[in-house]
Amino acid sequence: MAKAQQRLSQVQSHLASSEADIPRGRESILRKSPDDIVVTCALRTPLTRGGKGGFKDTAAADLLAHTFKSVISRSKIDPNLVEDISVGNVLSPGAGATEYRAAALVAGFPETTAVKTLNRQCSSGLQACVDIAHAIRCGMIDIGVGAGVESMSTQYGPGAVSEFSELLDSHPEAKNCKVPMGALSEQMASDRSITREVQDAFAARSFQRAEAAQKAGKFNEEIVPMKAKWVNPKTEEEKEILVDKDDGVRAGMTVEGLGKIKPAFKKDGSIHAGNASQVSDGAAAVLLMKRSTAERLGQSILGKFVCSSVVGVKPLLMGIGPWKAIPVALEKAGISKEEVDVWEINEAFASQCVWCVKELGLDEAKVNPNGGAIAFGHPLGCTGARQVSTLLNELGRTGQKVGVTSMCVGTGMGMAAVWVKE
């Protein structure tokens, strides 16, 4: 009889498993339920400069294997209980499906742990976490890992985008999907009167916040140091180094200093290397399960996933993605922007981030309080998973509860997710 009742409860839970059925309103999403999709571990490697930093000679799969090992060791989860892993990646051929399955095996997950990879451009890491959360919510699996990884040092460049066929090139809107993001962001900044001065002020603040956070040790909890082989580009000497912090954070950055950097995409343009996200390498992972599962296994709960949104916008207006995605996620959660304590919005370009924050009417003090991708980097497939650890740690340090992660997405999309700190 007890088994029958347990099975009935499981079926009822699965029937009420869509995001339309989640509790709504701040009080509701703060309420605890056995069916909550919770995070019991969220961590990342340091983020390092593409082509120059500590991971320039490290394969993406090796970054991911180290991250997986760290999830197992920190959470003390039995790897045999993890049923599926989803990895976001943008630049690896086939999104790294073969080597990332191998990375999971190297890390200590058994052959019974399935692995998939996906590519939704800059939101790939978040999509990976959301896919695992949904798989748990609908009863497909009980425990899973959402992750993201990118080695832009080894795989970034023209080869990352395939040639369009005559059919795709013949369609005006489809053809816009291949316009370089720097060029379309430059055009958006011009069309919407986002001056270089405004962009540089935003970028300087990102660097200053990241520098202060790094000095205060605010990233230490989310970062797992890693030993890596590094080849000196001048002497070709190979040595092993310990990478234990984000190496793209530049000390003493000011608006005046940024003002001296030449435009990158247009002679009289406003976007340059100092007010756009850095080309970077890194990996991140998030361990997810139901609250009831976490409590049964004695897993510490960091926070929970509430809901997410994904939207499309015109390809040439890629940068406005968060502006469209965030209200949809807030509506699903039944909360207002004023009820959000911290926003982690990816700084692909200062131009688009400034515009989204202004148009949404967000409190700038709550947006990327420890800096963002302009200051410490944007490894494309990694960022969405990285934001989860950064957000939950900041909420915990400040005694706050509700956070949102979001980003614009290449070819014209946006994604956002609502999270609650335990």
Catalytic residues: 122, 378, 408
User: Distances in Å between the alpha carbon of 393 and those of 138, 217, 315, 345, 390?
Assistant: 28, 12, 33, 15, 5
Kindly give, in sequence order, each residue whose CB lies less than 8 Å from that of residue 39, ignoring residues fewer than 6 positions away. Answer: 286, 287, 288, 301, 302, 303, 304, 305, 388, 392, 419
Report the 10 Å Cβ neighbour count for 383. Answer: 34
Task: State which H helix or E strand residue 15 sits in.
Answer: helix 2-15
- 27 class by beta-carbon count within 10 Å (0-12 exposed, 13-18 middle, 19+ buried): exposed
DSSP category for residue 367: B
345 strand-pairing partners: 406
Name the one residue in this structure whose structure tokens are 């060029």: 183
In single-letter form, the type of residue at position 159 comes to: G
Whether the CB-CB separation of 277 and 122 falls below 8 Å is answered with: no
- Residue 192 exposure: Cα atoms within 13 Å on the Cβ side: 20
Q: How far apart are CA 82 and CA 418, in angstroms?
A: 24
Backbone φ/ψ region at 221: left (φ over 0), alpha (ψ -120 to 50), beta: alpha
